[in-house]
Structure 1
Amino acid sequence: MKKLFVGLLLLVGTVANAQKTADVYVDKAGVLRWGKTPGQRPGAEVQGFGTNYTVPFAYAYRTAKKLGVSPEKAIADDVYHFSRLGFDSYRVHVWDTEISDTLGNLLDNDHLRLLDFTLKQLKDRGIRFVLTPIAYWGNGWPEPDEKTPGFSAKYGKAACLTNPDAIRAQENYLYQFLNHVNRYTGIAYRDEPNLTVLEVSNEPHHGGTPAQVTTFIDRMVTAMRRTGCQKPIFYNISHSIHLADAYINSTIQGGTFQWYPTGLESRHALTGNLLPNVDRYTIPFADKPGFKKMAKIVYEFDAADVGSSYIYPAMARSFREAGMQLAHQFAYDPTYMAASNTEYATHFMNLAYAPQKALSLKLASAVFHRVPLYQSGKRFPADTLFNDFRISYVRNLAELVTDTQFIYTNDTDAKLPAPDKLTEIAGYGRSAVVQYDGTGAYFLDRIEPGVWRLELMPDAVWVRDVFERNNLSKENVVINWRTWPMTINLPDLGTDFTIRPLNDGNAFTGQVSGMTVPVSPGSYLLVRKGATTQLSGNSRWKNLTLNEFTAPATSVAQTYVLHQPFPTATTGQPLSLTATIVSVNEPEAVNLFLTGVDQQRQTIPLQRSRGYTYTAQIPASLVREGILRYTIAVTEKGNTRTYPSGVAGSPDSWDFYDTAAWSVRVMPKQTPISLFNAATDTDRLSRDYLPESRLLPLSETGDAELWLPITNLATTDPEDKNAKPIYDYSMRYYVAANVAGRRRDVSSFPNLVLYGRSLDNQPCPVQVALITRSGTVYGGTVLVDATTGRFAVPVNQLKPVPFVSLPRPYPSFLPYFINTTSPATRLDPATIESIQLSVGPGMTPAQANQKHDLRIRRVTLE
């Protein structure tokens, strides 16, 4: 006992001394601050933002070896892109199972060498890092685990938290890990100035008593402090939050959190307005006095399965409101395998392959550096405008507009307050300063008065849903290097400037005409007429060299015609169609052929509207009741292929044999609109797992009903044993695609109708609700019985109801219901995007505790 008491005194003394001498410390108010840190103002708040990235370990490491990729070059190239995205922090949970033995001895192998290399590359770019030495994972995902030598492989996560031998192995490992000297810097991890924070382990998921948990944590901290390390030590406290006091009472200085507001592993891209899901990051134990003295960081976050670019700055705003000082997206895909998205298919992030999402992360980084800590924000939807940031779900746009910075993720009509003062532009698409139809990101940086650097990434086109099941042979995104005209309207450059290539191998010879220049991917120096500069490609600027540029090679080897037909359309109304066409050669002609018996000679040219986008309109006179079938023929270099099958030939040739076509069901205006059909749409429902729930075929050919055997309506929080259960089972389905061809008819139907049945002993209340593109929800309750089959509620009687956060977020302590609707607003049926079906609202306590046997067939507007 005496030895333990002396040890604790030494530990307290070490922590107190760290606040005076360390490069980072946590003050009495629980704020992480800079100490004696080169380049930082002593006492200033620590702010950082970045990503997780895993090339030194596990699947990413094995894949590099399999593909013959140099891990060192891959790391250097990706870290360069981190710098372009404004990242200044990095986090990795180290696969201890690959660099330790069963006793916790550190193994100095290739994995550890590459971690050293990664940290050196980050340091050279001015990017700091958070290290989590223990992951508790096997190294397989998404493949089976390999046999590895580490203590985690021997004991597993649960035993590592309780087994005495496993605990001693972890103490030994942590001590050796922090004493390890980086071979590329000559500095031990414990002393590395660019190491901001240490997190003991990744997602420990504790059981046991509070005293046992506190003792375990303190033993880990003591092992780390024995090295003389003065870095703040944090611990994951967002799991098993019924043990919050055990975490708070330990010797850690801060807590780590994560956020997956759209769940994980949907296996398809999520659609609809998801801003309500990220309106607020609520910590249930935020008011505990001990917690208020702890600093807070985000070790992992992502809007999983979301391909849009509007959501990350909204998450960053909510994090800052909750007191987070560092945040790290999970996870950045190494460029060499990003086209396939095989490492973590539910996540997707890479500057080359996901340019709009990457720019959204750049904006999130700006949020962390511009929005004050604990700034209380307005609630959705008012929170889409804050601190010079604007977020628009409808336009898939996030942007920052200041006198000097202009960053945007999509076409924008933003008015600039002072165009002559701009020094940094990063964007995608068209804006007041750049007109560009390519699909890569671009960066414009003012290096000197009248001298700018342009960096332009090649085009990225998503040819498949990147969130589906993937493998390395499946290319989801193609890269195309091609020349597009770019118009640059910057007062500092004027209407007459020169442009010259900087990066190696760039053979650009184009000329500027006015403010427009045909430009290909690469880095360039733009100089205003009359301005002089001594800059060259080897000149350093901030954390890069001017001639730096890295991007994957062109991968377009075939023609892609990407088109989604309308499921239904209305008789006698013109039908506008859009297709994305990516080809090796510029198409000479693109034609739409109507293939119905009386329409076979109807040919409609598709016109390129911009970039790879082609459009056509089928006249109202040709949109007749029945099945409208059509194909698209693309001619390149005199050769024609017809899609969707891609066979050689044209439908107007006598020997064209292919019968594949897109089809649209054309029906009279008064025909009900299908919002959800269980037989075809169940796989795209957002809902919690329900054992035994499945589709049951009906006697009608092709029809089915979704069986919902709800044995326990209570939704409980698996991470909080003390939380009150919520009696609700909800599902959400994105209907916008189903109604897109009949959008003008939606407002003419007076009733929202559910077809189904309940096999309970009494009618089952089911709330049927419509969600608009603004995120507001309007619903009504129908009593579903065993015989009627059709249950209707008048659309004009729908009332505001809560938005259910679906897919359910992680951590699970985040709100289940979100209020997004003002009672003063009214539903505009023309704006509906999703439906929400709920079992629970309107039930008595007795009903809620009963079993429910519900069958849902379809939902319509009639």
Structure 2
Amino acid sequence: MRCITIIICFIALSLQAKELVYQDKEGIIRWTNNKERVAVFGANYCLPSACDYRAAAYVDGNRDDMIAEDLDHFKRMGWNGLRLCFWGDWQNTDREGNLIDNDHLRLFDKLIEEASKREIYMLLSPIVTYNSQWPEMNDTTNTGIMKYVGKADLILDPATKNAERNYINQLLNHRNRFTGRKIKDEPNILFVEIINEPSQFPDMPDEMTDYINGMVDEIKSTGCEKLLFYNVSQNWKVAPIVAASKVDGGTYAWYPGGLTSFRAIPGNPLLCVDRYEQLMDPAMKGKSKIVYEFDATQSLGGLQTAAMIREFVRGGCQFIAMFSYDMLRTAPKNLGWDVQYTNMVYTPRKAVASMIGAEMMKRWKPGQPNEYYPKNNKFGDFRISYDEDLVLLNSTDSYYHSGDAKDKPKNISELRHIAGVGTSPMIEYSGNGIYFLDRSADGFSWTLDLFPDILALDDPFHPSAYKDVSIADARKHVMNVRLPGIEVSDTIYAGKYTVDANGFKRIADHPQQDLYSSYKGWPTHGADSRYPDRWKYNDWYTQIQPTEETSNLITVLNACDGLKMIDYTRNFESPECRVRLIRTLDGMNNAYELKTPDLTENPEWRTAADVTFQTYCGDKLWNRKGSVPKYIKIWAKGLNGTDKALVNFMDKNGRAFGSAFNLTNSMQEITIDVSSVSTFPAVVLPQDWPGVCSYYYPQSKNVSGKPDWDNIELVQVSLRGNLYPDGQKHDKGIIVEKIILEY
């Protein structure tokens, strides 16, 4: 009997694994086994709960298999991190916080098992706060705490706090049905974030401290020894409260493109991501920092992704998770999260850029200086180029490129890993799918992992369960490989190959080869069945042709285009900005109306005394390169006696030139001589969340020289407080029909 007891105790101790990381006295997270600094990169993965759970059903997916194939892609990209958001506060508790065992919890267990098998390390966020039924909002199966209370109650209401503590206790003591371990003892869960994006109360420090410390005490009462974190970036003013609490560190987010455009955002995404100064807040000294969410929202190229990771590393962040990874089976529709879109196969450029970001965490050091764009395009083994649409890692052992690259490898004989899209000095390939080449141990052959072309059908940032936004197409392409001892060429398609001096040898299909079937043409998706290798051309008569009288005029802003491509300043700790599309009485023409009740400086504002709207115009000016306009013509009028406004043009490097112009209370054509424009700061639009970026582009300040009309990308219209005398800054407004450049 005593022998049996000893065996049981031994098994229990083996399941209660030692923590893999610890925090040193400076707040640096280190691996327990070798004391080295932790650097973990990956993504949020949400299949067990909420909209991703439902999306899997929309494509008839087997959720267990989907978890496995998606995490295989994590490993293929070199990602070793995953944030596990679990909507237990909505879908796995009752009102008192008792844990409910259902399919969400089973998949939670499964995800932990599959991640652990692949040595992927996790941040657990067990209280999400946002409704699990978004975006459909037509499901009534929610049972949890949040069904009955408001978000603020989680922090302030005693009964709700007791329910949360009950829930977190039971969740951490829940035994994973696949690993046999309690959640608190799962070694690959390194961190627990107490709550996702809570309501913050910087003016109620005692109440916040009571909540944070109460949750910490409850977690530790279970025997859990994970490092514990609390959100800072929802409101920077809570940093001293978080720092003084019992948690080990703070969590941060960043969405430079905002979350509300619901369309691809054109223009240079590198101009506003040089600084995340809040990471340097001395109040958090000695505390660890992790990034629970970030993304280059409404963007596919990956340039901004890499630049953001560089700044996170500079700020000392040791766990960085993109939001969110789109499951392979739902990625053709981007069903997960509308303004985010990341998948290894379906967003190949962004995938390679994120791989390079993961390498930045290992190869770039905290505190490294980061200059402002464009001086920071080259750093260490890395290069980022807007003109080339390229993120590049060129090191002794690795060459990763998110697009066509011309840089010679540093030491081609020492190369071990290549990943890319398009062509490089070693690989010539006309397809647009992602590929990987890994050198064998003997050095004489390489393994090629080639994925299909991706055909874009629609803007992916306004998705629907009823349409595809992208299609994978395993069409054949010629690939030329030039590596030491190897110079071969063949026509190949998606799959796995060995490549050596004798050529290409196909060794396997992908497990998901059925998804990558050869493109036959889908007329309902806009393809022309007569030409399977290209999309149907736009008929010439649908394109507006300039007449001789209008050939010297380019319309850069036109209210007839509607609001879809209009960005404007946000109403949050700022002047109130009202933008709408109207019909003018004096001409029955479409027009943009911009209004604000007050532009008097306010110390409570995060922003300047300014309201602005803009549109991208680079696509309208490309055929005017080499020409300089003579006049800017604006059709506009003032409201409520507003007698001035500002028009501003910004180029791809952030240099801005414009002019203040006079208004009357009637619609008129206003002509500005281009030779008279001067420099004005340009507004960063869309504005980021949670307010990391400056209000004005840094590159648009202290500008010299003349406008670069060959590379103008944005036109902005502003009502700016310094245009008006004191006492006359109220009820400002402007109506604009169109803006034209005359050449």
TM-score of the aligned structures, taking structure 2 as reference length? 0.90
- Partner residue, 2:349: 356
SS at match of 1:264: coil
Q: How does 1:63-82 map to 2 (within 5 A)?
A: 63-82=55-74
Q: How does 1:382-781 map to 2 (within 5 A)?
A: 382-448=375-441, 449-468=443-462, 470-491=463-484, 493-495=485-487, 515-529=488-502, 549-550=511-512, 552-554=515-517, 556-558=519-521, 632=537, 661-667=542-548, 671-688=552-569, 693-698=579-584, 703-713=589-599, 726-740=608-622, 742-744=623-625, 746-747=627-628, 749-764=629-644, 766-781=645-660
The reply to whether residue 163 of structure 1 matches residue 125 of structure 2 is no
Residue 324 (structure 1) aligns with: 317
Distance (whole Å) between structure 2 residues aligned to residue 151 and residue 85 of structure 1:
37
Amino acid paired to 1:794: D
- Contact 1:261/1:809 (8 A) holds in 2: yes
Distance in 1 separating the partners of 2:358 and 2:79: 7
- Say yes or no: does 1:28 pair with 2:45: no
2:78 to 80, 86, 94: 86
Alignment of 1:2-17 (within 5 A): none
CA RMSD, aligned part only? 2.8
- The aligned residue for residue 121 of structure 1 is 114
Instruction: Report the residue type matching 2:227 in the other structure.
Output: P
- CA contact 1:47–1:325 (8 Å) conserved in 2: yes
Q: 1:703 to 1:724 in 2, by over 3 A?
A: closer
Q: Which amino acid aligns with 2:371?
A: K
Q: 1:204 aligns with which of 184, 189, 198?
A: 198
C-alpha displacement of 1:70 = 0.5
Which stretch of the first structure deviates more once superposed, 662-671 or 369-378? Answer: 662-671
2:738 aligns to what? Answer: 858
Match of 2:40 in 1: 48
Tell me by how many angstroms 1:554 deviates.
Answer: 2.8
Q: Which region of structure 1 is more displaced relative to structure 2, 72-81 or 821-830? A: 821-830
Q: Note the C-alpha offset of 1:166.
A: 0.9
Change (3 A) 1:380 1:758: same
Cα deviation for residue 62 of structure 1 reads 2.0
Alignment of 1:122-161 (within 5 A): 122-144=115-137, 145-161=139-155
Measured at CA, do residues 191 and 559 of structure 1 come closer, stay the same or move farther in structure 2, by a change above 3 Å?
closer
Aligned to 1:102: 95
By how many angstroms is 1:738 displaced?
2.0
Give the Cα separation in 1 of the matches to 2:511 and 2:399. Answer: 22
- For 1:861, what is the secondary structure of its paired residue? strand
In the other structure, the counterpart of 2:300 is: 307
Q: Is the 8 A contact 1:801 1:819 kept in 2?
A: no
Provide Cα deviations, 1:337-373, integer angstroms capped at 9, x if missing partner.
Answer: 1111132111111112111111111111112221101
Q: Given residue 593 of structure 2, which amino acid in structure 1 is its aligned partner?
A: W
Go from structure 1 to structure 2 and tell me whether the alpha carbon gap of 1:745 and 1:697 turns closer, same or farther (over 3 Å shift): farther
TM-score for both structures, normalised by structure 1: 0.78
Are the structure 2 counterparts of residues 337 and 859 from structure 1 closer, same or farther at C-alpha, using a change threshold of 3 Å?
same
The Cα of 1:334 is off from its aligned counterpart by 1.1
C-alpha distance 536-519 of structure 1, shift in aligned 2 (>3 A): closer
The SS at the match of 1:336 is coil
- Distance (Å, rounded) in 1 between the aligned partners of 2:333 and 2:600: 39
Aligned amino acid, residue 276 of structure 1: L
Given that 1:142 and 1:342 are in contact with CA atoms closer than 8 Å, whether structure 2 keeps it comes out as: no
Contact 2:91 2:141 in 1 (8 A): no
Q: Pick from 808, 815, 823: which aligns with 2:703?
A: 823
Amino acid at match of 1:110: D
Instruction: Output the CA distance in 2 between the equivalents of 1:241 and 1:848.
Output: 33
Change (3 A) 1:409 1:33: same
Partner Cα separation in structure 2 for residue 68 and residue 823 of structure 1 = 56
Shift of 1:446: 0.8
Alpha-carbon deviation of 1:692?
5.8
SS of the equivalent of 2:70 reads helix
Q: Secondary structure at the match of 1:69?
A: coil
Equivalent pair of 2:593/2:734 in contact (CA under 8 Å): yes
3-state SS of the aligned residue for 1:115?
Answer: helix
SS at structure 1 position matched to 2:670: strand
Partner Cα separation in structure 1 for residue 314 and residue 31 of structure 2: 21
Counterpart AA for 2:236: I
Shift of the alpha carbon at 1:163? Answer: 1.5
Native 8 Å contact 1:758 1:854 kept in 2: yes
Cα offset, 1:165, TM superposition: 1.2
Shift of 1:285: 7.1
Alpha-carbon distance in 1 for matches of 2:227, 2:279: 24
Q: Name which of structure 1's ranges 551-560 and 177-186 shifts more when overlaid on structure 2.
A: 551-560
Q: 1:784 aligns with which of 655, 663, 668?
A: 663
Aligned residue identity for 1:693? V
Q: CA deviation at 1:306?
A: 1.4
Is the CA contact 2:83–2:122 (under 8 Å) kept in the aligned structure 1? yes
Q: CA deviation at 1:106?
A: 1.6
CA–CA separation in structure 1 for the residues paired with 2:74 and 2:566? 35
- Match among 806, 825, 829 for residue 685 of structure 2: 806
- Matched residues in 1 for 2:63 and 2:358: separation? 26
User: What SS does the corresponding residue of 1:455 show, helix, strand or coil?
Assistant: strand
CA shift for structure 1 position 694: 2.2
User: Is 1:59 the equivalent of 2:80?
Assistant: no
Instruction: Pick from 349, 353, 358 the counterpart of residue 365 of structure 1.
Output: 358
Contact 1:233/1:252 (CA < 8 Å) preserved in 2? yes
Query: 1: distance between equivalents of 2:362 and 2:725?
Result: 48
The Cα of 1:147 is off from its aligned counterpart by 3.1
CA shift for structure 1 position 261: 0.5
Alpha-carbon distance in 1 for matches of 2:445, 2:333: 38
Which residue number corresponds to residue 228 of structure 2? Answer: 233
Task: Decide whether the 8 Å contact of 2:648 with 2:682 is kept in 1.
Answer: no
Q: 2:279 & 2:613 partners in 1: Cα distance?
A: 25
Map Cα deviations across residues 777-816 of structure 1 (whole Å, 9 max, x no partner).
2222223232472334333333333232211111125421
Question: What secondary structure does 1:339 align onto?
Answer: helix
Q: How many residues align?
A: 714
Q: What is the percent sequence identity of the aligned residues? A: 28
The amino acid that maps onto 1:840 is R
Q: Equivalent residue for 2:7?
A: none
How far off its partner does 1:861 sit?
A: 1.4
How far apart are residue 714 of structure 1 and its match? 6.5
- Specify every segment of 5 or more residues in structure 2 that has no aligned partner in the other structure, as ranges: 1-17, 571-575
What is the one-letter code of the residue matched to 1:827?
P
- The alignment partner of 1:305 has SS state of coil
1:838 is matched with 718
Does 2:210 correspond to 1:215? yes
SS in 2 for 1:318: helix
Q: Indicate the structure whose relative CO is greater, using CA pairs within 8 Å and at least 6 residues apart.
A: 2
The 2-side partners of 1:472 and 1:795 are apart by: 48
Q: CA deviation at 1:746?
A: 4.0
What residue in structure 2 maps to residue 250 of structure 1?
245
1:463 CA drift (Å) = 1.3
Deviation at 1:843, TM superposition (A): 2.3
Whole-angstrom CA distance in 2 between matches of 1:677 and 1:240 = 37
1:93-122 CA-to-partner distances (Å, cap 9, x unmatched) read 210121222211222221111111112211
Deviations 1:442-489 (CA, angstroms, capped at 9, x unpaired) = 000112211211001111111111112x22121111121111111111
SS of the equivalent of 1:775 reads coil
CA radius of gyration, larger in: 1
Q: Secondary structure at the match of 1:303?
A: coil
Q: Which moved more, 1:231-240 or 1:184-193?
A: 184-193
